[in-house]
Amino acid sequence: MPAENATGIWVVGEHAGGVPTRVSHELLGRARALADASASELTIVLPGPRFAEERLRELVARGADRVVAVEHERLDPFQLEAYAAIVEALVRARRPAVLLGAATTAGRTLMPWLAIRLHTGLTADCTELAIDPDTGHLLQTRPAIGGHILATIRTAGHRPQMATVRPHSTQPAAPDPRRHGTVERIPPQPEWLSNRVRRIAFTPDREKQTLQDAERVVAVGRGIRRPENLGLVRKLADALDAALGATRDVVDRGWLDYPHQVGLSGKTISPRLYLAIGISGSVQHLAGMQTSDTIVAVNNDPQAPIFQVAHVGIVGDLFEVVPVLTRVLAHAPDASGNSDRPDGSDRSDRSPRAVGIPAPGGEP
C-alpha cells in the first residue's frame, strides 16, 4: 500500500484456545515504546474465538490503546487464509503505519502472506525496533550474514512497515490496571472465513516445548569436554526440575540433539533461572538466553563473557562446582527457583555477584 495517510502502530496478537499468549504481551511491550516514540495509537488485532472480557482488558493494561477482537468459533485454532483475510481487510480499511507479528510458527506463516497481499516489505526475526526521529520510519534491526552483523532495514515507500519479533527476545509488558483503552469486538464477514485447509490432528513436539516453556534451564557448553560427562549436568537439571539446554558447539559435536540448542540459530528462551555450565557466552549464545530472569554462570575463566550478563558468577572448575550445587539444591527447602518477581518487572541490576562454593565434600 502507498505510504500516504498511514498512521498507528498495530500488532497481530496470538492466543491459545481463546487466551492471549505471552508473545502477545511481549509484542505489546515492543510496540508501546514505538507508539510513544511516534505519538501514535497502539492497536492489537486478535482473531480467534470468543474472548473473555478480562483477557481483552488485560491487553489494554499491558499497553494497547485499542483491542480489535475478531471473534468466531471457526477462528480457533489458527488458520492462515482466514486470519490473513481478516488482518488484510482491517489494514486496508484503517491503514496502520506499522504492523508487527511474532516470529512464531503462526506469525512466520501469516506475516509473509500478508506482506505479499499488501504489497509491502517485511523484516523477519527482528531483535530491535525503533522509530527514526527524523523520518518517522520504523528501524528494523536483525542479525544478518550468518549473525556476523546487525542490519537495520527500513521500508521507506510502502505501508504498513512490517516486521516479526522473536518470541522471548523481550520481557512481556507489565500490566498497569489504570490504563484506559477501547475494546472492539467484530464479527467476521462470511468471506473472511473461507479456508481451503482442513486440520485433521495436532501432535505437539514435547521435547521442543520442554525447553521453551521451562521455568528453569540448565545449559551446558564445551567445557563439559566429553559426552560421557553430561550425566553431571543432567543430575543438576533433575535436582532443579529443569530442562537441558546446550550451546551450538555441544550440538555440532553430536553430544546433544538440536532441539536442545539455545542461541541465534537455536531457540530463544527466557526462563526464570538459566544456569550456564562451561559456556563462554558468545554473542550468538547470548542472543538466545539473555532475557532470562536470573542467570547463573559456572566457568573457570574469570574473563569469560558470560559473566557480563550473569547475575551470579561462580569462577571454578565445573567438575567440582556442579556436584556441590546439585547436592545443595537437591536438599534446598525450595529447589523450584520460584521467586515472587512479577512478570515484566525491571531487572536492571545486571552486576554479577560472586558466591562462595564450599570445597567438594565439605559442608554446603
Ligand X SMILES: Cc1cc2nc3c(=O)[nH]c(=O)nc-3n(C[C@H](O)[C@H](O)[C@H](O)COP(=O)(O)OP(=O)(O)OC[C@H]3O[C@@H](n4cnc5c(N)ncnc54)[C@H](O)[C@@H]3O)c2cc1C
Residue 161 β-bridge partners: 98
The answer to whether residues 322 and 362 touch, using CB atoms and an 8 Å cutoff, is no
CA-derived radius of gyration, the chain? 22
Options 169-177, 207-215, 218-226, 230-238: segment touching ligand X (CB under 6 A):
218-226
Options 58-66, 174-182, 193-201, 293-301: segment touching ligand X (CB under 6 A):
293-301
Q: Which is nearer to ligand X, 278 or 352 (CB)?
A: 278
| 255: three-class secondary structure by DSSP | coil
Number of residues that bind ligand X (CB under 6 A): 30
- Rule CB under 6 A: say whether 221 interacts with ligand X: yes
Find the binding residues for ligand X in span 229-268 (CB under 6 A): 247-250, 261-266
Q: Which is nearer to ligand X, 106 or 304 (CB)?
A: 304
CB of 297 to ligand X, least distance (A): 9
Q: Which is nearer to ligand X, 123 or 280 (CB)?
A: 280
| 258: three-class secondary structure by DSSP | helix
Find the binding residues for ligand X in span 302-321 (CB under 6 A): 304, 317-319
Binding residue (CB under 6 A) for ligand X from 17, 133, 146, 362: 146
- In whole angstroms, give the CA distance from residue 207 to residue 211: 7
Of the candidates 250, 267, 249, the one whose C-alpha atom is nearest the C-alpha of residue 259 is 267
Neighbours of 227 (CB within 10 A): 12
Q: Which is nearer to ligand X, 70 or 298 (CB)?
A: 298
Single-letter amino acid code for the residue at 92: R
- Rule CB under 6 A: say whether 68 interacts with ligand X: no
Note the helical H segments in the chain: 22-37, 53-61, 80-94, 105-118, 206-213, 230-240, 248-252, 283-286, 318-330
Single-letter amino acid code for the residue at 41: E
CB of 261 to ligand X, least distance (A): 6
Binding residue (CB under 6 A) for ligand X from 55, 154, 222, 347: 222
- Rule CB under 6 A: say whether 218 interacts with ligand X: no
Residue with the shortest CB distance to ligand X:
263
Find the binding residues for ligand X in span 174-193 (CB under 6 A): none
Pairing of strands 161-165, 98-102: parallel
Of the candidates 347, 364, 163, 145, the one whose C-alpha atom is nearest the C-alpha of residue 265 is 145
The answer to whether residues 223 and 277 touch, using CB atoms and an 8 Å cutoff, is yes
- In whole angstroms, give the CA distance from residue 245 to residue 24: 25
Binding residue (CB under 6 A) for ligand X from 7, 300, 308, 336: 300
Residues at the contact surface with ligand X, assessed by CB under 6 A = 146-147, 221-223, 247-250, 261-266, 278-280, 282, 284-285, 288, 298-301, 304, 317-319
